[in-house]
Amino acid sequence: MPEPRARDLGLPFHGTTGPFNAITDVAGVLVGFTTLTDPARKMKTGVTAILPRGHDTTPSPVWAGHYALNGNGEMTGTHWIDDAGYFVGPVCITNTHGVGAVHHGAVRWMIDTYADHFAGHAWAMPVVAETYDGILNDINALHVTPDHAIAALQSATSGPVAEGAVGGGNGMISYEFKAGTGTSSRRVSIGGETYTIGTLVQANHGRRPWFTVLGKPVGKLIPEGAFASKEQGSIIVVIATDAPLSGLSLRQIAKRAAIGIGRAGTPGGNSSGDIFLAFSTANAGPMPQHAPALIQKTELNPELLDPFYLAVVESVDEAVINAIVAGRDTAAVKPEGLIVRGIDTARLSAIFSEGPIA
C-alpha cells in the first residue's frame, strides 16, 4: 500500500492535479532514481534523473528558463539556458560533492543515447543540480559515481513518483524534518486548451520556527526534534509543462517557484541555494544546426500566464510538503547521536482537523 501523501492526511491544497499529482503528469516526462544507503559506510545519498523527452534517441531542444533566488548552490548549464532559451538532454539532482560525477555520467548517457548525433562534432551540456546532505551522509567520501547517474537515467519511467528518501533526496532535511524528494502537479485551462504544470523538488532548506503549512504555524506547533541554529541547506525546483512557452516566459514561470517555497515559511537563507528551472516539452523539433532558416513555434500570449503562475506556486508548495510528509526518522553521521525526525503525520493531520488556529 502506498505511503500517504499530504492530501491523504486531509491537508486542503487548492487546484486540480493530474492523475499522479506528479511531474510525470506532463506527457513524456520521466523520472528515475539511484538511491544509495549503507549505514556501515555512512552512506545515504543518490541521484534523481528527469528526462524531459523520455528515452528518445534523437536529441531535441527543450525550451527553458531558470532563476536563482539565492545562489549558494549549483545548477550546470544555466548560462546557455539564459543565452539560448533551451537545453538538450537530462536534468539530474544529487548532493553537492556529486555534481562532477553525475555530470560525467549524464554526458556518457547522452553520447550513448544520441549516438548518431555524437558521431559528428557535437557537445553535451546536461543540467545537474545539487543540495548538501552532509548531516545524514558522509559527503566527503564521494559515494556518487558516473555509473549511478547512468543507472538513474536508465531507470526513468512515467507513473507515480517516489518521494522522501529516494535518489538525490535520500539524505536531505527540510525545516529540520527528514525530507528529500517531493512532487506535485496542476491542470490549467487557457484559450480552450488544458495544460499541465508538474513540479519536482529536492527539499533541504528551512528552519523549524518558520515552517508553515497552508497558513498554519506547524513548526511552532510541532517543535520537538529541532536542532539547527541557522539555515544550512538548499532547495532545487524543477518545473515541467506541456504549454507552448518561450524561454522568456519560462524564466517568469521559474521565478514563481520562489513564492511557492516561501509559502512554507523560508525567506531564502544566505546559506541556502534556492535554484529553479522551468522547461516546456511543446514545440519539439530538430537541433538548431539542423533546422531551417525560419523557425516557426507556437507560443501562449504572456498576458494570459497568471493562472500558470498560481499553478506553479501551489504545486511547488505542495511538493515541498509531500517531501516532508514522506520523511522518516534518520540517524545523522555528523554530529553523531543526532536523530533527524520525520514529521508526525498524525499530529499534522490533527492540526487540520481541529479548525482555525488563532
- Whole-number Cα distances in Å, 26 to 19, 186, 239: 10, 10, 10
Nearest to 33 by CA among 232, 181, 201: 181
- Whole-number Cα distances in Å, 187 to 28, 120, 175, 182, 246: 16, 41, 28, 18, 19
Computed over its alpha carbons, how large is the radius of gyration of the chain? Answer: 19
> 317 with 181: CB under 8 angstroms?
no
CA distance 132 to 134: 6
CA distance 9 to 31: 25
Length of the chain: 358
- Residue 112: active-site member: no
147: its cell numbers:
555509473
Amino acid found at 217: P
Question: Could you count the other beta carbons within 10 Å of the beta carbon of residue 58?
Answer: 13
The secondary structure of 233-247 as a DSSP string is -EEEEEEEE-S---H
Instruction: Find the catalytic residue in 184, 274, 280, 315.
Output: 274
- Residue 274: active-site member: yes
Instruction: Find the catalytic residue in 174, 234, 249, 280.
Output: 234
Q: How far separated are the first and last CA of the chain, in Å rounded?
A: 36
Question: Could you count the other beta carbons within 10 Å of the beta carbon of residue 303?
Answer: 6
> 334 with 44: CB under 8 angstroms?
no
Instruction: Find the catalytic residue in 184, 185, 249, 272.
Output: 272
Active-site positions read: 234, 272, 274
